[in-house]
Amino acid sequence: MSWKSLVSAGLLCVLASPAFATPAVTITSAGLNAQGNWVWNVQIANTNPIPTGSSPLAAELGFKAITANLVSAANLSTGANDDFDTINPGTPIWGWEVLTDVDPDVGVNNKPVGVQTNCASGCTVNVAGNNPNSVFSALGSIDFNTVGPHDYIQIVTKGPTASSAGAATGTRKSSIQMLGIYGAGNVFGRISEALTSTTSTNFDTYAQQVYALATPGDTNLVGTVNLTDLTTVQDNFGIGTTWQQGNFHGNGTGVVNLTDLTTVQDAFGAASGGTGVGGGPGAGAGLSGGSVPEPASATLVLLGSLALVAKRRRK
């Protein structure tokens, strides 16, 4: 049995090692998928320099979606010899994990393995004592000879929605949290790196939260509401179902309608949203703001788009 099958690891930030810089974990928003849901990619970079010039990693990480319901979580590896390619046993983090007898030859040895979620009924059911919208993961990697970042897992959370009135409310924000100290109560977190074929170093104590924030009217999430968004809503009027198509109020339900057109008008030229670390509002770093039209001009833009929609429907 390989060393990484014996090591469990897991959650974010890291205690310093006297010999090496600690492994780093990053959670990055990849925007919205075809269903209009947020996609988050989790990657791990090993220590620098890498022990002995090349080394595998093992990680046991716990994640929680805290402002939007969890949809799914899966290994980011796409094939053989691709980053974290081994399902490992670990230690329960949340308490709901499904346990497997990982080594029947030595008696009952029940542990959670691989990537698991508690997505009962779309991750909306919270069984007493359990944490809803949470993810368990325990994976081992190939032998890395580069520092990374290396793909770990992908997490999908429910996409953004605005209020029915078009105001900047609803579940526009999606946040992913990793937190905990190894061995503290029911929360575990550790990353392990092999130093030799028989020894390894554990790095623990992880805490981080990242978020993405969408601006109602911003179909392509570039950070500002402009004519591109207005055209998208017009082209998908009566048929679009996702945020990218201009359906800001249904997240996969209903279709683009006059409320969505009004949302674009009200937010025209607005520059907000974005991604960041922590629990605050979107900073919109690197996002360019557009010029804000006068109220009369904005109304003319909206009326023009409505005329185009009506003309298209009469054909």
Q: In whole angstroms, give the CA distance from residue 31 to residue 119.
A: 21
pLDDT at residue 190 in the model? 87
Six-digit token string for 311: 């003309």
Domain range annotation of the chain = 3-212, 217-272+287-314
Q: In whole angstroms, give the CA distance from residue 180 to residue 193.
A: 19
Interval 96-142: pLDDT, tens:
888 999 888 888 889 999 999 987 655 655 555 667 888 999 999 99
Strand, helix or coil for residue 81: coil
C-alpha angle with apex 207: 52 to 10, nearest 5 degrees? 50
Q: In whole angstroms, give the CA distance from residue 20 to residue 107.
A: 38
Q: In whole angstroms, give the CA distance from residue 212 to residue 260.
A: 21
pLDDT at residue 113 in the model? 95
Torsional class of 303: left (φ above 0), alpha (ψ -120 to 50), beta (otherwise) = alpha
Six-digit token string for 65: 């979606």
| Amino acid occupying residue 217 | G
* Helices of type H across 108-257: 227-235
Q: Give the pTM.
A: 0.78
pLDDT at residue 314 in the model? 39
- Residues of the chain predicted below pLDDT 50: 1-20, 166-168, 279-315
pLDDT at residue 281 in the model? 29
C-alpha angle with apex 116: 108 to 10, nearest 5 degrees? 85
